[in-house]
Amino acid sequence: MYRDPYNTETEQLFRLHPYKIFMYLLLGSLCALFFGVSAAYMYQVVNSQIETVTPPTIFLLNSVLLLGGSWFIIQANKAYQNDDTQGYTRSLIITLILTVLFMIAQSAGWMYMISNGMLASRNPSTGYLYVISSLHFMHVIGGIPFLALFIHAAYKRMKEPVSVLVYFSDPEKRLKLKLLTMYWHFLDALWIYLVVFFLLMKVVKMMI
């Protein structure tokens, strides 16, 4: 049975670890940023005559890629708890691959918008879609180096039983993996929120 790898006495020592505080501050600031831009868009839609914009279908498909990445990073956590070196490394690699595929698909979505005349100069709502999706894209890029570091450490340190034991028993490594997982889940939830938000605003515009 899978046990929570963070529910240990040692983990209590890291309850107020600077890494945690930094992550909470980061996620809080991101929430404020995206909700602020969302509120500005909502205000313009409700109080102005601007048309809403519908995200391209590929934006919906991108959600599947992100959710897949979240699922595999959960599997990495389980493998870490079970000292499964191969499963741990494999799950992290698949998470990275799915994230890169998301970035490629996201770029394709922007190209589709441009080729179909969906430009900010023609519709301010389109500008909001570009800005919000670009901000999310930048934060996905920001998380990739940390994921790559985990993969690099897995290949470098998991070569012999002693190094594997040291790696898997390190409470700080568990904490970092927990925070990485939290960040990945946040990106997923944020993307789904953004897609649903733009779709809901189209419904709201039709009702007013």
39-74 pLDDT, tens digit each: 999 988 888 778 888 899 999 889 999 999 999 999
Residue 1 pLDDT class (50, 70, 90 cuts): very low
Domain 57-207 grouped into CATH 1.20.120.80: yes
d(CA 40, CA 52): 13
> So where are the chain's domains?
57-207
pLDDT at 14: 55
pLDDT at 174: 84
d(CA 136, CA 194): 9
DSSP 85: H
Query: Tens digits of per-residue pLDDT, 66-119?
Result: 999 999 999 999 988 888 888 999 999 999 999 999 999 999 999 999 999 888
Query: Tens digits of per-residue pLDDT, 124-137?
Result: 889 999 999 999 99
Alpha carbon distances (Å) from 56 to 38, 40, 105, 139, 147: 18, 21, 11, 21, 28
Is the confidence at residue 2, as pLDDT, over 50?
no
d(CA 133, CA 109): 10
Helices marked H in the chain? 9-12, 18-47, 57-81, 85-115, 124-157, 161-168, 171-207
Residue 164 neighbours by CB distance under 10 Å:
16
